[in-house]
Amino acid sequence: MSTAAMLVLALLLDAVFGEPKWLWSRLPHPAVLMGKAVGFLDRKLNTGSNRRAQGVLAALALVLGGYFAGKLLALPGALVEILVAAVLIAQRSLTEHVAAVAKGLRSSLAEGREAVAMIVSRDTAAMSAPQVARSAIESGSENLSDGVIAPAFWFLVAGLPGLIIYKAVNTADSMIGYRNDRYKDFGWAAARLDDLLNLIPARLTGLLIALAGGQLRHWKDIAADARKHRSPNAGWPEAAMARALDTALAGPRSYDGEMRDFPWVHAEGAKSASAETITRSVTLLWKTWAITLALTIAIAVFF
């Protein structure tokens, strides 16, 4: 069975079953295991004066570990590859978490804040309703790239080893890729490698969202907005989503009690995002997934 055909089945399995609680309440999720591996490397190597070199060693260990784990898991054949790929692709769980913010916000601002705190790292206690909605939409668009398109891309390019390497590096970036005193040196290699691995998938995600939202004619504007983002990659899906919803995203927000004046993405869009805007973004996430599935089927059939 071709890699593209396996990816088609993995995308469908994830869309139907998502993250079954009955399974992951009994077994450790692969993402949890990756997190434990990153934590172990952090404890063992993030010491002394040469932390950047030790961070490079940690990143190399994750890449080699992901490669050999992928090769080992691929040995039993296509069925195991499909199941592992389905577990490491997160379309359904992503849309469920984003939709939960819309549901909470419709009930009360407090419930909306509580729901969005589950998926963002910024301060949520004093958020207004539009800030809650924008945060959920931004998280959804960025995680579509990190959790769906990038894993699918690397599986298609390099099979199960490519997918597991990507997820391990992405997990490391989320845990140690911070520019603070503890991680600015040790996490440097993981953060830069994550930027590199997301370079193509992030732009591809932006393109797919623009296609799903009928915004390809505005691609130059989307690209210009994407370059305003503090991240070299996250701005692409976010800018495409902002344009598709005609809603301004990003802008000032608070981290650890400190307000940061980030630029607006699609600044001329509406700044009064709501639960309904979140729901529209979830629809776009599924439309983008459907286009991705169709393209993967085409690759499986013709190549």
Query: Which residues, in sequence order, are CB contacts of 193 under 8 Å at separation 6+?
Result: 59, 63, 169, 173
**Residue among 301, 293, 300 nearest 152 (CA):** 293
pLDDT per 10-residue tile (average), the chain, 303 residues: 97 95 87 95 93 96 97 96 96 97 97 95 90 96 97 98 98 93 94 97 98 97 93 95 96 81 91 96 98 98 91
Q: How confident is the model at residue 300, as a pLDDT?
A: 97
Nearest CA-CA partner of 96 in 204, 16, 6, 201: 16
Beta partners for 259?
A: 254
Residue 254 backbone phi and psi in degrees, to 5? -110, 135
Report pLDDT for 50. Answer: 92
* Distance of alpha carbon 264 from alpha carbon 253, whole angstroms: 11
Q: Would you list the DSSP string of 141-173?
A: HHHHIIIIIHHHHHHHHHHHHHHHHHHHHHHHH
Helix (H, G, I), strand (E, B) or coil at 234: coil
The pLDDT, as a whole number, for residue 37 is: 96
